[in-house]
Chains A and B, each alone.
Chain A
Amino acid sequence: MEEQYLAMIVLGVVGLASALVLYLVAKKFNVKEDARIAEIEEILPGANCGACGRKGCHDFAVECCKSGSLDGLYCPGAGAEGMKQIASVLGLAAKDAQTKKAFVRCNGTKCNRLVGRNLDTIKSCISAKTLAMPAGYCTWGCLGGGDCVKACPFDAMTWDEDAQMPKITLEKCVGCGACAEACPQNLILIREIKTEIAPVVVTCSNREKGGIARKMCTVACIGCGKCARTCQHGAITVANNLATIDPEKCIGCGDCIEGCPTKAITAFGEIIKTKNITTV
């Protein structure tokens, strides 16, 4: 019996001593941190996406506390609502900021592409880009490696197996730009979304001449310039056989969409309006 008591006492004493050491060390090396930092971090998405230009959410929170105003500090992940909360934590005025979304400027799905590639390789766009492409394969479009999906910290990008292309869930997308950074083809456009204006985007990046582009993909921009002529607001320009839309001038009327002979222009308005998430 005595042995058992002895063991219990020894263990108890060792335990108490360890706890004491831990307590003292924690006390001694405790770093005082602004309590608001933790509060702000709670509001932030915690994805460390880097869209704010800081190393991570913690750095962003630290900077918010340090600087006197929220000028130049905007977290697309938290959005306007989140920034308002941060502002109220700090007792500062919230700044208005645009909502941004990502769009893939390619619609080269498996069925739209006229020349496919029988590729057997690792799941990486960088690798797919370096490998040979068959004659007539669109070298401008999506390579199907899924680097953007891997890069998305908000699960807004998913892989569409049937299309062999990424799919963006705009409700989840915060426009942080991690996917645009990852895309070796530079296909992903981060565009500001204005209230109640459907974003109209050219879903093609092919800069080949019309005839060649048409043989590569059924929905390629052939640079015909019809959209530029149709647009009454001068928002569309065609350069290098490719149309681009100026988001500053576009009012989202959608005239160009109907006019495009290859259906290379799309509006994402329906999604935006029904979900009503553009209210800034």
Chain B
Amino acid sequence: MENKEIIVTGSPHVTSQRTTQRVMLEVILALIPAFACGVWIFGWRSLSIAAVTIIACVLTEYICSRFMLGRRDTIKDCTAILSGLLLAMTLPSSIPLPLAFIGGVFAIGVGKMAFGGTGQNIFNPALVGRVFLLISFPVEMTTWPLPLSPDGLTGATLLSAMKESGVDAASIDIYQIAIGKMGGSLGEVGAIALVAGWIYLTIRRIIRLIIPLSIIASVVILAIATSNNIAIELLSGGMLLGAFFMATDYVTSPMTTKGMIIYGVLIGIITFAIRHYGSYPEGISFAILIMNGCTPLINKLTRPRLFGERRGGK
């Protein structure tokens, strides 16, 4: 019996099988149906957009971590791939590929690596990339090709149509929206696929129910209070994509149940406010980014209760 073979470590000696890489791969898996919907609706060009953003993200992460931070790269975690895919899903299918590339570089370079890499970023990288593109290239970012129209007709998204042209909510067919027959970004259109992905993640216990539910609940309550159409509120725009996949990002969301509720409800309220009272037709990306910034504060305010400590202090 050689001592060399025996390894000494601290307890515990078993760990769960779940690694960051596996979790990220599962989230990517959960996104694939929704992305496939986008491909089906907007054509093969969607694939090349995703490829460009993913390559941009992974490349930026590699270069930044190896040559600027001087660390081991964290590509194996697959977080960059996920950010790239999420970014692609928030872009319109007609976006020029160089812009998509710039978005990817900005998302990882400024949104993530500038803060110190994986786990250190305050804002969701994919949303940073999207909002950067939206503000810098408003024309390209708000030109939405109409679904299933090979001749390249473009039009407005549902929300901007309602806001700017005064389209009546009652005239819209909810069923058409649910199956994705509306203008929008790559990932927004497949509502059913998004829900399927979300259910998968929830069953696998990768994300907790609280954040999506509190976002949706607050939007529903506000819609009822202001007598807006609930289905349109939920199914249009990036609401589902944002609530299920963006707001639940581990790094940028609070850790405690209480914190998650505050975070979710505020995202819902801000989204609703931007949609109805702001100048942009869609507000969930801004809402999530604003709340991302508040996350450290929420974490601080909603520390878990120490075992044996009475509620409300010692």
* A interface list, Cβ under 8 A from B: 115-122, 127, 130-135
Contacts and interface: CB of A to CB of B under 8 A. Distances in A.
Contact of B5 (A118, A127, A131): A118
B11 to A, nearest CB: 10
Interface string B1-23: 00111111110000000000000
B10 A118 contact: no
Contact of A134 (B3, B9, B10): B3
27 contacts: A115-B3, A116-B3, A117-B8, A118-B4, A118-B5, A118-B6, A118-B7, A118-B8, A119-B7, A119-B8, A119-B9, A120-B7, A120-B8, A120-B9, A121-B8, A121-B9, A121-B10, A122-B10, A127-B10, A131-B8, A131-B9, A132-B8, A133-B8, A134-B3, A134-B6, A134-B8, A135-B3
A10 B39 CA distance: 50
A240 to B, nearest CB: 27
Nearest to A136: B3
Interface residues of B, number: 8
Contacts of A115: 3
Which 5 A-B pairs rank lowest in CB-CB distance, beginning with the nearest?
Answer: A134-B3, A118-B7, A120-B9, A119-B8, A120-B7
B4 A116 contact: yes
Interface string B29-73: 000000000000000000000000000000000000000000000
A131 B7 CA distance: 11
Nearest to A119: B8
A129 to B, nearest CB: 11
Given A115-B3, A130-B10, A131-B8, 19 more contacts: A116-B3, A117-B3, A117-B8, A118-B3, A118-B5, A118-B8, A119-B7, A119-B8, A120-B7, A120-B9, A121-B8, A121-B10, A122-B10, A127-B10, A131-B9, A131-B10, A133-B8, A134-B8, A135-B3
Contacts of A121: 8-10
B214 to A, nearest CB: 37
Contacts of A133: 8
A122 B5 CA distance: 19
A118 B290 CA distance: 48
Contacts of B7: 118-120
Contacts of A132: 8
A131 B10 CA distance: 6
A127 B9 CA distance: 10
A67 to B, nearest CB: 42
A122 B9 CA distance: 9
Contacts of B3: 115-118, 134-135
A121 B9 CA distance: 6
Contacts of A130: 10
